[in-house]
Amino acid sequence: MIEKDYNWLKDNYVLLGNVRMDRPQLQTIFDIYNRITGENKPVTSCGRCVLNIKKRLKFEIEKYENIQSIRNQDR
């Protein structure tokens, strides 16, 4: 995950909960997901699909923070 994506996700963390998103927010979520996974999922309003993407992004945030924490300990 690149820092820009991490910062956007942290600034908009509420969107990873059970909330409605507008089209630009949904597009950004899918763009970040596709960059992280290398997949090319099209934007959809399918509730279960979006939920799975949100779950994956939460996992990726945690993973990114753990990696940054380990790097900071090595300094």
Task: For CA atoms 45, 46, 48, 50, give the dihedral sign.
Answer: negative
pLDDT at 74: 67
In the chain, the number of structural domains is 1
Using pLDDT thresholds of 50, 70 and 90, give the confidence band for residue 71: confident
Write the CA distances from 27 to 20, 23, 30, integer angstroms.
13, 6, 5
Domain that holds residue 43: 3-73
- The residue assigned the tokens 């998103």 is 21
Q: What percent of the chain has pLDDT over 70?
A: 97
- Write the pLDDT tens digit of every residue in 13-64: 999 999 999 999 999 999 999 999 999 999 998 999 999 999 999 999 999 9
